[in-house]
Amino acid sequence: MKHQLTYKFFFTCALAATSLTMATAQNDSAIIKKDITIEKEYTPSIKDAGKINDLPSIKEPVLKPTEVKYSDYSVALDPEYKVRQLDAARLKIPENNQDKNGFLRLGFGNYIGTLGDLVLPIIQKPKYGLGLNVNHKGVFDGHDGNMHHKSDASVNFNRFFKEGKLFADAGYSYRGFNYYGENKLSKDSIYTTKNGQIKGKDFFDGNMGIHTWNVAVGYKSYPDNDLVNSLSASIAYDGFMPDEGLTQHRITTQALYKRSVNSDNWGVGFNMQNYVFGDNNLNKLYGKEDGFTYLNFNPYYQFMRERWDLKLGVNLNISTSGRAFAPTADVIGNLTIVKNTLFFYAGLQGDYNTNSMSDIVELCHYINLNEKVKNTWTPLDLKAGFKIKILYNLLTDLSVEYRMIKDQFFLVSDSASLPTGNFASNVFTPIYTDANVFTANFRTTYDYNNILNFLLSAKYHKWFADLEKDGMKAYNMPNFEFNFATMLKMGKHMAADLNLYIATGREALRVDGTTRKLSPIYDLNLGFYYNYNSKLGLFLKLNNILHRHYEQWYCYEVNGINGLIGLTYSF
């Protein structure tokens, strides 16, 4: 089904609004976290090949420029993709790394692609600071009429004390898009249903807008002089309201206490989430859950030795929705086999995800917004791997992972049933099963004097067990992923980067119960950057250079080759 979108250009409104910058959803790691962009401004970095820091933490809001993202169609961004994002004002050129008070970035491209970023420190004092961060990205005239835009703004405050700091954040965000996916119904036809005759256009979802907002406040202490004690605490409220569908209100309370004893560490974390749901179209939620509470306790002890460390902990998950009691282990260790060269790590962990609606739309905003996705429990997450560092600036990571998942969800096309048959819909709905998945990972990074660096990664996923028993497949999940990213600096004023993403093996469930293989993703992107002086810079991004209209989701094809040109200004 194809629609015309009467979009709202929200950038002007966002300048006066406040918004919490979107956090990466803690989705199941084999689920591709769709950052819905084929353009990413990042560069690989070489990380220390030493011990893994897996301690819990509470992160306060941070005022910073966001990465350049303007095209809302594919590439998939792996949630474990560990790369460094260079400071936006540097435009990837280290010589232009001067301290700036403000930053502005503007861009425009084909398909009416738009980009805007503003970082404005309002108050900068030794003991406190206040800043504004505004972001906009959008495509308003894409392939098959696909249009999608998002604008947000946030106000961030920090108050520094001798023992710690108080932080606060408030914000608002708006996402607008249309359902342009193919629908087998006809807008112009009249269909006979049990409720009488209905025009085809009444079955079509058209435009959608999603509003989100957030306020948060917290405190984070500095370690004392003996690095013995550390305390963090925060409370946040976030809201989610689509034009049609369920509304969501969530209050998250977190606290973490850490203490060091003879170089070892112990601590306990607490996380409580209170959900309340409503409906824009109903006075009551007929047959639907109106809210629930989730609690997590995470006590742990970490042994720290010269050649090894071991964290022993447990996650006690309690919920009034889904699994009432869902404990998981929290054990991970590191061993130095050859100093500075070869390391082994292994872990036995787990996870409980409440699947917030605001997080789910980051995975797929075409999801049916009338139903909340069930909570997902991963009772077993077993991983092991080696880090190899033969050269100082060359790091390779090889690992395997096996997970058991309860209430794993896969997104499939919804359907409309009429006396004349079943018809595909352009919205997606979750189906659930218990599933196991095995993942093999390869990853290598290299850096040469910050002039040339690259990242090469590959993943293989194998889903099995209860999937086959339930007659299901891992719908929309790739079985193989490949990612290559590189950056080259050319003199003091120019730089370029390249990214190639490949994903194969995805299948979609059709309305008649059969499956169809989706075309492989081959997504190639280039970027060029030029610094005119210490304040002004130019950039050019070319995306989906291979001009492949692959389906990001079943019946949703992405834009072909597209580009964006723009400038940055530091002030």
Bridge partners, residue 458, by sequence: 442, 482
Bridge partners, residue 193, by sequence: 196
283-316 burial string, b = 16+ CB within 10 Å, else e?
A: eeeeeeeeebebebebbbebeeeeeebbbebebe
Contact 475, 423 (CB under 8 A): no
The predicted pLDDT at position 414 comes to: 78
**Location of structure tokens 């989906």:** 544
Q: How many angstroms separate the CA atoms of 467 and 432, rounded?
A: 9
**Which tens digit of pLDDT belongs to each residue from 130-158?**
999 999 999 988 766 788 999 999 999 99
149-162 burial string, b = 16+ CB within 10 Å, else e?
A: bbbbbbbbbbeeee
Q: Record the tokens describing residue 11, joined without a space.
A: 């950038």
Among 74, 189, 145, 176, which residue's Cα sits nearest to residue 501?
Answer: 74
17 burial type by CB count under 10 A (0-12 exposed, 13-18 middle, 19+ buried): buried
**Preceding peptide of 62 cis, ω within 30°:** no
**Which tens digit of pLDDT belongs to each residue from 57-112?**
444 333 333 333 322 222 222 222 222 222 222 233 333 333 457 889 999 999 99
Q: How many angstroms separate the CA atoms of 223 and 226, rounded?
A: 8
Q: What is the mean pLDDT of residues 285-309?
A: 88
- pLDDT category, 418, cuts 50, 70, 90? low
Contact 466, 433 (CB under 8 A): yes
Among 19, 25, 42, which residue's Cα sits nearest to residue 457?
Answer: 42
**Location of structure tokens 């965000």:** 173
**Location of structure tokens 């060359």:** 394
Among 399, 477, 340, which residue's Cα sits nearest to residue 82?
Answer: 399
Q: How many angstroms separate the CA atoms of 177 and 512, rounded?
A: 28
CA 203 from chain center: how many Å? 31
Q: Record the tokens describing residue 389, joined without a space.
A: 């560092």
Contact 37, 75 (CB under 8 A): yes
Contact 309, 301 (CB under 8 A): no
Q: How many angstroms separate the CA atoms of 381 and 461, rounded?
A: 14
Q: What is the mean pLDDT of residues 190-217?
A: 78
Contact 481, 451 (CB under 8 A): no
Q: How many angstroms separate the CA atoms of 542 and 527, rounded?
A: 6
Cα atoms in the 13 Å half-sphere on the side-chain side of 504 = 7
Detail the DSSP E strand segments found in 357-479.
Answer: 376-391, 394-418, 421-448, 452-464
The predicted pLDDT at position 280 comes to: 66
| Terminal-to-terminal C-alpha distance of the chain | 46
The string of DSSP letters for 505-558 reads: --EEE-TTS-EEEPPPEEEEEEEEEEESSSSEEEEEEEE-TT----EEETTEEP
The predicted pLDDT at position 260 comes to: 87
**Location of structure tokens 């390249």:** 498
Task: Tell me the average pLDDT of the chain.
Answer: 78
The predicted pLDDT at position 67 comes to: 35
CA 122 from chain center: how many Å? 29
Q: How many angstroms separate the CA atoms of 418 and 400, rounded?
A: 47
Of 33 and 165, the one with more pLDDT: 165
The predicted pLDDT at position 51 comes to: 34
Q: What is the mean pLDDT of residues 282-309?
A: 83
Name residue 145's amino acid.
Answer: G
Superfamily covering domain 11-570: TonB-dependent receptor, beta-barrel domain (2.40.170.20)
**Which tens digit of pLDDT belongs to each residue from 23-65?**
222 222 222 222 222 222 222 322 333 333 334 444 433 333 3
Contact 411, 364 (CB under 8 A): yes
- pLDDT category, 241, cuts 50, 70, 90? very high
Quote the longest CA-to-CA distance of the chain.
Answer: 77
Q: List the single range of 74-88, 437-451, 550-564 with lowest mean pLDDT.
A: 74-88
Among 360, 132, 157, 130, which residue's Cα sits nearest to residue 250?
Answer: 360
Among 129, 52, 72, which residue's Cα sits nearest to residue 309?
Answer: 52
**Which tens digit of pLDDT belongs to each residue from 370-382?**
889 999 999 999 9
Domain segments of the chain as ranges: 11-570
The predicted pLDDT at position 488 comes to: 92
What is the dihedral angle through the alpha carbons of 214, 216, 222, 227, rounded to the nearest 10 degrees? -80
Three-state DSSP class for residue 561: coil
Q: Record the tokens describing residue 225, joined without a space.
A: 């002089």
Q: How many angstroms separate the CA atoms of 1 and 181, rounded?
A: 5
Which residues neighbour 155 within 8 Å (Cβ) at sequence distance 6 or greater? 18, 130, 131, 132, 133, 169, 170, 171
Which residues neighbour 14 within 8 Å (Cβ) at sequence distance 6 or greater? 134, 135, 136, 151, 152, 153, 172, 173, 174
Contact 381, 51 (CB under 8 A): no
Q: Record the tokens describing residue 118, joined without a space.
A: 């503003």
The predicted pLDDT at position 423 comes to: 63
Q: How many angstroms separate the CA atoms of 485 and 63, rounded?
A: 26
Three-state DSSP class for residue 200: helix
Q: How many angstroms separate the CA atoms of 179 and 394, rounded?
A: 45
